[in-house]
Amino acid sequence: MAPHDFWQEIHPPGTFAVDGEFASFHVAVLEDGRQLRLPIRVLADGQHALASLIVNQASFAVLDTLAERLAETIRPMSIDVVAGLPTLGLTLAAAVAQKLGHNRYVPLGTSRKFWYRDELSVALSSITTPTQQKRLYIDPRMLPLLEGRRVALIDDVISSGSSIVAGLALLAGSGIEPVVIGAAMLQSDRWRERLEAAGPQWIARTVGVFATPILERTAAGRWRAPPA
Nearest-10 crossing angle of helices 191-198, 162-172:
20
Count of CB atoms situated within 10 Å of the CB of 191: 25
Would you say residue 145 lies in a domain?
A: yes
With cut-offs at 50, 70 and 90, classify the pLDDT of residue 131.
low
pLDDT digits (tens, 9 = 90+) for 169-179: 999 999 999 99
Q: Is residue 5 part of a domain?
A: no
In terms of Cα–Cα distance, which of 194, 202, 55, 178 is closest to 108? 178
The Cα–Cα gap between 37 and 137 comes to 33
Residue 81 falls inside a structural domain: yes
> Binning pLDDT at 50, 70 and 90, where does residue 211 land?
very high
Residue 46 lies in a domain: no
Amino acid at 16: F
Query: Would residue 10 count as lying in a domain?
Result: no
Calculate ∠ Cα 109-112-116, nearest 5°: 100
What is the value of pTM for the model shown? 0.93
Q: Provide the CATH number for the domain around residue 205.
A: 3.40.50.2020
- pLDDT band at residue 129 under the 50/70/90 scheme: low
pLDDT band for position 117 (50/70/90)? confident
Q: Is residue 228 part of a domain?
A: no
- What pLDDT shows up at residue 2? 79
Helix, strand or coil, per DSSP, at residue 133 = coil
Residue at 114 is within a domain: yes
Q: What are phi and psi of 176, to 5 degrees?
A: -110, 125
Helices (H) and strands (E) counted in the chain, each on its own, are 5, 12
**Domains of the chain: total:** 1
| Residue 108 structural domain | 55-212
